[in-house]
Every structure is written in C-alpha cells, then in structure tokens.
Amino acid sequence: MNFNFKDYLQAPLEILKLRKKWKMLERIRSREEKQYLLNKYILERLKFICSYSKQHIPYYRDEFLHYEFDPEKIDGFDYFSKLPIISKDTVRTNFEKMQSDEKGALNAVMFQTSGSTGTPLYFFKDKYANAASFAMFWRVWENGGEWRIGNKIAALTGYEDGKYFYQWKTRLLKLSSFYLNEENALLFYNLIKKFRPKILRGYPSALYLFAKLLEARNLSLKFPIVITESETLLDFQKDFIERFYGAKVMDHYSHWEGVGSIYTCECGKKHLLQDFGYHEIITDSGKAAKPGEEGRLVCTGLYNRVMPLIRYDTRDLARLDENQSCDCGSVFPIVSQIFGRVEDVVVTPDGRFVGRLDAAFKYSKNIELSSIYQPDINNLIVSIAPTKGYNYDTDEKPLIDELRKRLGDKINIKVNLVKNTDIPRTKGGKVRFVISDIPAEKKLGHI
Ligand SMILES: [Zn+2]
C-alpha cells in the first residue's frame, strides 16, 4: 500500500500522546534537568527500538549478534554508537530481512524517496512512525506562533496532479512548482489572496522564483513566516525570500524516511529534534563531530517498528555550531549549516572538494534559477535562467570571478543561458543545484 495523507492519522491517540510527552520535556525550566530527562527519554526509545529489532527483525538480529550488541545494555550513547552505520544500499540489499515479522498488525505503508540520484528507495513506515511524523510537522509549523492546527496554509512544492489543489481536510492549498511560470505565478498569487493562508511553505527554489516573478509584475505578497523545506536553502534565496515576503524564513529539514528533523527556532538557530529521531553528526574518521566540526548526518528513527532505521546515513552534511546555547531555551543540539547532499560537491582538477557554491551567486541579482552540472573533473557547466535585467558585467562576470575564487583556474567554466523550465528537476519537482557525473563514492572519503 502506498502512502496517503490519511495514513498520518491512523493512530490519533499516539499523536496526542507524543505531543504531550514532547511538550512536557520542552516546558522544563532548568537546562540541566531538561537535558537529563531528554537524554533519558532518547535512551529509552533507542533501547525500545533496538530490543524490538532484536526480537522481530532478522537483519538486526544477525547484526547485533555479529557486533555482540545487546540492546538491554544500552546505558548511554557511546554504547549505542558501537553499531555500524547503515546506508540506503543496506536497505535496498536487505529489503525483506529488514521488515518486522509483525508487519500485518502494524498498518505498514510503503514509502518511496524521490530518488534524485537515480535509483528510488522503498521502505515501510507503520502507524507509530506516521503518528510521530504528524506530531513533528504540527510542532514545527506552529513554532513561531503564527499557525495553529486548523489554520490555513499554502504550499508551493512538487505537486504532480495539476496546477493546484485544495486539501480541505487539512486546510491546505497545494500549488505546483512544476507549473510555475509568468502566467501561473499570477494565478497562484490570486489563489493565495483569495484563500488567505496564515503561512507559506515550499521548496526554496520555487518560493524564490515565485517571488522573482511577482516582483517583475510589481506585485507584493506578505507572510509573517515562510517555511522552506526539501532542498538546501541557499543564502541568496534566503535573503531574497525574507525581503520579498517580509517574512521570517524558518528552514525545516526532514525526509521521507522520517528519522530526521531539523527546525529553525524563533532565534533563527537550527536545532536537531532529538526526541523525534536521534541525530548524530559523524566525521570522516567515524567519530562524533565536536562543536565547529562538520560531518555526515546519521539518524535513528525512534518510533518505526515495521522497518527500523538504526544509524542510517542520510548522505546529508551538517556542521555542529560552535555555540551550543540558544535563548529559545531548547537543549536540542544546534547546527550552523546543513550542506545538503554529499553529491552537491564539485571536484576540482587539483583534487579539491568544494561545496556551498551558492555563495558564488551573491553579486548576481538578475538570475531566476540556476544549476551547476559537472560532467567530468575538468569541466563545469552553469545553466542560468536570467531575468530581464541580466547582463554580462553585473551578473555573469562577477559570478565567474566568484566561482574562480573557489574552484581555481584549471577547471573550464561554461555559462549557458536557458529558460527556467529547461533547468532540470527531479521527479519530485525539486531543483538539484549541483548535478555531477563524478560518482559520489569517489567524493565520500574526502568531505
Ligand atoms: Zn533556539
């Protein structure tokens, strides 16, 4: 069975139970006590998921035996981190063995990631995992105080079945990023004006393009909060989205696997939601990152029984903030940056690995949409959908100069001007900022 929105609501009592638990932890005033009780809760959940896996999941039963890992012995995070990190390939290869023998009773629903690198990944989530996801989105969207459950919301994402759709049950107006062009920007603008949602959320590339198209028509659209999701939020997008919508931009990282969630608090810091999924940031050497260090984001889902993901490599990169305290009162760890996929890195002919190339676009204002393609180690093709004011001296030259600063002189850089519809999208309608034909595995050891 494939996912349908109502699957989120299979276990409404679970949603309320979790919400109550999470809120209780949030409300504790003393930082020390809060941290202590939070750790205790996460460890209880890890112990539960691992014990369940030992009992019901053949794959983990074998693995635990092999690593002499006993869930009952989990007395801290160090012991838990003895377990190996699993990848998407682990899930693909052991698909049957990773499923619970209680699958029938758990209301299992099949999910699929959009497979932006080619092969899609299938996995199952059960009623507990779906309840946790619902409670998590509820909590993230209401953060900031502008939206309450029952309020209207508009979303500009990869909706596939037409230009737009009203999902009345959830008071959601879905607008399709696939159809976003000059003409439909006006249609979407009018739909939003009529629907009057409290907040706007969507893919950063789409929200940015929508704002550019409205600005070109001298139209304005204001929201107190804009939630960006699903793609890496690039700095120039954030600046423009903030300015155009007059909004506080709250970036939210999550994924279909439902094991990780990073939200932006009212102070603008990015917190790892450790009571939704246990997040670890693991450096190249396999150790936990220290404040200031970057590493791969490895997550363990705390609720899914039908197909638990234990120490699952998301292939996203993040840097742990040097300053781990925040005025919002949360004790969840803070990351300063989420870098997006390992794949979003360009390799230079002299063997360097360069990420966050979005920063090279900071002086080039007349660009609607862009993407970078690296066919091989010596070449880089930058596709740009220009706006009307685009010209070589103010946009293209500064961009090439900035790219050169980061990538050096040895790589050939070619700029192609294209229509925004010619910029490739994934099946889910997301724009991949960097597309590379250099295998990710070659890059992995170097980040
Ligand atoms: Zn905070």
How many angstroms is it from 263 CA to the middle of ligand 1?
A: 9
In a domain, 199, yes or no: yes
How many angstroms is it from 330 CA to the middle of ligand 1?
A: 6
Residue 380 contacts residue 407 (beta carbons within 8 Å) = yes
Mean pLDDT of 252-277: 95
| pLDDT given for residue 3 in this prediction | 62
Terminal Cα-to-Cα distance of the chain (whole angstroms): 38
| pLDDT given for residue 60 in this prediction | 98
* Helices (H), ranges, 84-181: 88-93, 127-142
Banded model confidence at residue 447, pLDDT cuts 50, 70, 90: very low
What residues have CB less than 8 Å from 175, skipping those under 6 apart?
154, 155, 156, 157, 159, 163, 164, 188, 191, 192, 202
How many angstroms is it from 151 CA to the middle of ligand 1?
A: 24
Tell me 277's DSSP state.
Answer: E
Residue 433 contacts residue 371 (beta carbons within 8 Å) = yes
Residue 60 contacts residue 53 (beta carbons within 8 Å) = yes
Residues 319 and 354 in one domain: no
Residues 50 and 174 in one domain: yes
Residues 139 and 192 in one domain: yes
How many angstroms is it from 398 CA to the middle of ligand 1?
A: 35
Residues 278 and 410 in one domain: no
| pLDDT given for residue 113 in this prediction | 73
How many angstroms is it from 332 CA to the middle of ligand 1?
A: 8
Can you tell me the distance from the alpha carbon of 203 to that of 175, in angstroms, rounded to the nearest whole number?
A: 11
Residues 114 and 232 in one domain: yes
| pLDDT given for residue 114 in this prediction | 55
Identity at 376, one-letter amino acid code: D
How many angstroms is it from 234 CA to the middle of ligand 1?
A: 20
> Three-state SS for 360?
helix
Could you read off the pLDDT of 165-224 as tens digits, one per residue? 999 888 999 999 878 888 999 999 999 999 999 999 998 888 998 999 999 999 999 999
How many angstroms is it from 268 CA to the middle of ligand 1?
A: 7
Banded model confidence at residue 258, pLDDT cuts 50, 70, 90: very high
User: What is the number of domains present in the chain?
Assistant: 2
How many angstroms is it from 320 CA to the middle of ligand 1?
A: 14
Residues 386 and 431 in one domain: yes
The domain boundary residue, chosen from 313, 341, 369 = 341
Residues 262 and 374 in one domain: no
How many angstroms is it from 389 CA to the middle of ligand 1?
A: 39
Residues 353 and 337 in one domain: no
How many angstroms is it from 327 CA to the middle of ligand 1?
A: 6
In a domain, 167, yes or no: yes
CATH code assigned at 317:
3.40.50.12780
| pLDDT given for residue 342 in this prediction | 60
- Indicate whether 115 pLDDT > 50: no
How many angstroms is it from 233 CA to the middle of ligand 1?
A: 18
Could you read off the pLDDT of 19-74 as tens digits, one per residue? 999 999 999 999 999 999 999 999 999 999 999 999 999 999 999 999 999 999 99
Query: Could you give phi then psi for residue 437, rounded to 5 degrees?
Result: -90, 0
Banded model confidence at residue 120, pLDDT cuts 50, 70, 90: low
Q: Among candidates 142, 135, 126, 140, which has minimal Cα distance to 18?
A: 135
| pLDDT given for residue 436 in this prediction | 83
Residues 57 and 151 in one domain: yes
How many angstroms is it from 384 CA to the middle of ligand 1?
A: 36
Q: In the numeric block, which tokens belong to residue 301?
A: 């889902």
Residues 267 and 391 in one domain: no
How many angstroms is it from 142 CA to the middle of ligand 1?
A: 15
Can you tell me the distance from the alpha carbon of 208 to that of 104, in angstroms, rounded to the nearest whole number?
A: 44
- Indicate whether 2 pLDDT > 60: no
- % of the chain surpassing 70 pLDDT: 94
Could you read off the pLDDT of 164-174 as tens digits, one per residue? 999 988 899 99
Could you read off the pLDDT of 217-231 as tens digits, one per residue? 999 999 999 999 988
Could you read off the pLDDT of 386-438 as tens digits, one per residue? 988 999 999 999 999 999 988 889 999 999 999 988 888 877 777 788 888 88
How many angstroms is it from 265 CA to the middle of ligand 1?
A: 5
Residues 57 and 116 in one domain: yes
Residue 434 contacts residue 374 (beta carbons within 8 Å) = yes
Banded model confidence at residue 256, pLDDT cuts 50, 70, 90: confident
Query: Could you give phi then psi for residue 372, rounded to 5 degrees?
Result: -115, 135
| pLDDT given for residue 341 in this prediction | 64
How many angstroms is it from 49 CA to the middle of ligand 1?
A: 28
In a domain, 446, yes or no: no
What predicted TM-score, i.e. pTM, was given to this entire model?
A: 0.83
How many angstroms is it from 365 CA to the middle of ligand 1?
A: 31
| pLDDT given for residue 116 in this prediction | 44
The mean of the pLDDT values for the chain is: 90
Tell me 181's DSSP state.
Answer: S
The domain boundary residue, chosen from 341, 360, 379 = 341
* Helices (H), ranges, 106-260: 127-142, 182-195, 204-216, 235-245
| pLDDT given for residue 343 in this prediction | 59
How many angstroms is it from 26 CA to the middle of ligand 1?
A: 12
How many angstroms is it from 414 CA to the middle of ligand 1?
A: 41
Is 122 buried (19+), middle (13-18) or exposed (0-12) by CB count in 10 A?
middle
> Which residues, listed in sequence order, are joined to residue 384 by a DSSP beta bridge?
370, 417
Task: Print the domain residue range for 425.
Answer: 346-439
How many angstroms is it from 269 CA to the middle of ligand 1?
A: 5
How many angstroms is it from 171 CA to the middle of ligand 1?
A: 28
How many angstroms is it from 322 CA to the middle of ligand 1?
A: 14
In a domain, 28, yes or no: yes
Residues 312 and 355 in one domain: no
The domain boundary residue, chosen from 309, 341, 373 = 341
Banded model confidence at residue 119, pLDDT cuts 50, 70, 90: low
